[in-house]
């Protein structure tokens, strides 16, 4: 133990000393969300602002801290963010032209890292060192393993608020080049506003989920509302990309016990967790949750091994083919593919599995229908017509998989907002669709 403590003290430094090592042209990697290292990044931004470095790039996914390189355009050319998922601050910076975006399936990121990138440094937030010299990577295990393999140096930010995930990735003191201490509560995701519409949609989906199903819930009010609607179910399991608050609720009320899973029976499986302090407390020292690399967790061939796999995700618009856009409004970046397709494919290939894409029927105060004849020019197709399964709005459920274009169109118009149905039917007829 004392040897590890000695090594810890030797590597301990302040954030400015880590930033001082960064040279022009460095590429720095970070994993998702709460894995980010805000103190090191702020010190690096200060150096960039002072004109001491240029052309430094930092790769991120789902930024949950106010990272300076996504907020301050004056850092452009000195320090730029490159996102694997255009949410949060990254979304604004990408649309404003001073951050870049790498398209991907989340499950592929480790492979892309191993084949396309070398990193000058990998920075990661960890929980305090244990007696064997290991630091837990806490709430995130998604692609850190690949970045560690491809990085010349590793800098960690030790945070005693970062939970210790006993079934998650660990890093050893011998692998670490610099340690910065930064004890601060992890950021929390504001609770989703579950309104009447979300509750209605959640209710439709819950009716189609059998006891014993294995669930993935995406981010947002509708997946949360569906989670809440599942509290009366029995023997549910969890195999998901993101572990959310509603999942802790389902575990604690007894609806989830993971007893019917074909793989990882008795254990909830995820690649990262983000939400309230309740989640972080749940993960700490808990062998009932496994945080595993995303190339395993999000692999459709792994997902489908659980029977009755149910995936629930959101969208921005859907056309008559059932092509789902979840990433852009026209050419404006809104998000990334994340694991949507991974779970659509995994769920639809599972015995008894179902994949739901759910959203409110309109946007912008009821002025825009999210069901459209064609996707808006420039829109990104996230889930293809060949993969799509169920589409749900507050007006009902459309089951598109295996159905013709005419059947899809009819079903989608029936669940569009009533104010838009005549116009949609007119456009369908103009296109010669046999409705
Ligand atoms: N046309 C114009 N604007 C639209 C729109 C449309 N068809 N649909 C939504 N919008 C606007 C909303 O009004 C809102 O605007 P605001 O920010 O000014 O309020 C904004 O776009 C976001 O829409 P909202 O419906 O609130 O999105 P959300 O927070 O529920 O997120 C996705 C929806 C699709 C962006 C999100 O689920 C996502 O990132 N998905 C991709 C990744 C994924 O599915 N991962 C799954 C595993 S976690």
Mean pLDDT, 10 residues at a time, over the chain (435 residues)? 90 98 98 98 98 98 96 98 94 97 98 98 98 98 98 98 97 98 96 92 97 93 93 98 96 98 98 97 98 98 98 97 97 96 98 98 98 98 98 98 98 98 98 95
Cα–Cα distance measured from residue 82 to residue 101, given in angstroms and rounded to the nearest whole number: 5
- Give the model's pLDDT for residue 1: 53
Is the minimum distance from the CB of 224 to ligand 1 under 6 angstroms? no
Structure tokens at 136: 């837990």
Is the minimum distance from the CB of 219 to ligand 1 under 6 angstroms? yes
Dihedral of the alpha carbons of 222, 281, 299, 176, in degrees to the nearest 10: 140
First-to-last alpha carbon distance for the chain, in angstroms, is 73
Q: Whose CA is nearest to atom 6 of ligand 1?
A: 316
| 203 phi/psi in degrees, rounded to 5 | -65, -45
Is the minimum distance from the CB of 317 to ligand 1 under 6 angstroms? yes
- Give the model's pLDDT for residue 290: 98
- Give the model's pLDDT for residue 87: 85
CB within 8 Å of 340: residues ≥ 6 apart? 218, 313, 324, 326, 357, 382, 383
Element (H, E) at 90: helix 88-95
Q: For 192-220, how does the pLDDT look when each residue is reduced to its tens digit (9 = 90+)?
A: 889 999 999 999 999 999 999 999 998 88
| 330 phi/psi in degrees, rounded to 5 | 60, -130
Q: Which residues are catalytic?
A: 241
Dihedral of the alpha carbons of 389, 320, 424, 427, in degrees to the nearest 10: -170
Cα–Cα distance measured from residue 432 to residue 435, given in angstroms and rounded to the nearest whole number: 9
Ligand 1, residue 316: give the atom nearest the CA: 8
Counting Cα atoms < 13 Å in the Cβ hemisphere of 365 gives 0
Is the minimum distance from the CB of 27 to ligand 1 under 6 angstroms? no
Structure tokens at 39: 């103190």
Is the minimum distance from the CB of 168 to ligand 1 under 6 angstroms? no
Q: Whose CA is nearest to atom 16 of ligand 1?
A: 364
For 278-335, what is the HEC assignment?
HHHHHHCCCCCEEECCHHHHCCHHHHCCCCCEEEEECCCEEECCCCEECCEECCEECC
Domains contained in the chain, CATH given: 2-181 (3.40.1080.10), 196-430 (3.40.1080.20)
Out of 84, 90, 318, 363, mutate this one to test ligand 1's pocket (max ligand atoms within 8 Å of CB): namely 363
Q: How far is the CA of 102 from the centre of ligand 1 (A)?
A: 19
Pairing of strands 154-158, 134-136: unpaired
Q: Whose CA is nearest to atom 8 of ligand 1?
A: 316
Q: For 256-269, how does the pLDDT look when each residue is reduced to its tens digit (9 = 90+)?
A: 999 999 999 999 99
Q: How far is the CA of 329 from the centre of ligand 1 (A)?
A: 9
Out of 62, 142, 193, 219, mutate this one to test ligand 1's pocket (max ligand atoms within 8 Å of CB): namely 219
User: If we measure between CA atoms, which residue out of 274, 226, 273 comes closest to residue 250?
Assistant: 226
- Give the model's pLDDT for residue 220: 83
Q: How far is the CA of 269 from the centre of ligand 1 (A)?
A: 26
- Give the model's pLDDT for residue 191: 84
Residue 426 CB: number of other CB atoms within 10 A? Answer: 11
């Amino acid at each position: 133990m004392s040897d590890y403590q000695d090594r810890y003290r030797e590597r301990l430094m302040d954030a400015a000393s880590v930033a001082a090592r960064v040279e022009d042209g460095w590429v720095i990697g970070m994993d998702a969300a709460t894995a980010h290292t805000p103190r090191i990044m702020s010190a690096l931004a200060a150096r960039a602002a002072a004109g001491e470095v240029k052309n430094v790039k930092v790769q991120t996914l789902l930024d949950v801290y106010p990272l300076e390189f996504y907020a301050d355009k004056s850092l452009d050319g000195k320090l730029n963010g490159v996102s694997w998922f255009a949410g949060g601050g990254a979304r604004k910076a990408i649309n404003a032209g001073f951050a870049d975006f790498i398209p991907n399936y989340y499950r592929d990121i480790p492979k892309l890292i191993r084949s396309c990138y070398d990193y000058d440094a990998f920075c990661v937030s960890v929980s305090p060192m244990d007696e064997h010299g290991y630091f837990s990577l806490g709430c995130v295990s998604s692609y850190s393993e690949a970045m560690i393999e491809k990085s010349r140096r590793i800098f960690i930010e030790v945070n005693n608020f970062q939970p210790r995930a006993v079934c998650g990735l660990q890093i050893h003191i011998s692998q670490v080049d610099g340690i910065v201490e930064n004890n601060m509560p992890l950021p929390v995701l504001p609770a989703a506003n579950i309104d009447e519409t979300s509750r209605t949609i959640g209710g439709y989906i819950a009716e189609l989920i059998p006891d014993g199903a294995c669930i993935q819930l995406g981010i947002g009010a509708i997946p949360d509302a569906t989670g809440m609607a599942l509290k009366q179910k029995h023997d549910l399991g969890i195999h998901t990309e993101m572990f959310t608050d509603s999942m802790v609720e389902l575990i604690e009320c007894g609806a989830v016990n993971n007893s019917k899973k074909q793989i990882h029976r008795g254990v909830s499986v995820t690649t990262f967790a983000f939400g309230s302090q309740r989640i972080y407390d749940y993960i700490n020292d808990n062998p009932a949750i496994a945080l595993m690399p995303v190339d395993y967790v999000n692999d459709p061939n792994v997902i489908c091994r659980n029977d009755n796999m149910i995936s629930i995700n959101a969208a921005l618009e859907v056309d008559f083919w059932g092509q789902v856009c979840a990433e852009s409004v026209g050419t404006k970046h809104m998000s990334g593919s994340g694991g949507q397709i991974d779970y659509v494919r995994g769920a639809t290939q599972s015995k008894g599995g179902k994949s739901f894409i759910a959203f409110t029927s309109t946007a912008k105060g009821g002025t825009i229908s999210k069901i459209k004849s064609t996707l808006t020019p420039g829109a990104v197709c996230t889930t293809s017509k060949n993969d799509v399964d169920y589409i749900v709005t507050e007006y009902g459920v459309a089951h598109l998989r295996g159905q013709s274009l005419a059947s899809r169109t009819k079903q989608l118009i029936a669940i569009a907002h009533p104010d838009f149905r005549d116009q949609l039917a007119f456009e369908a007829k103009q296109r010669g669709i046999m409705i």
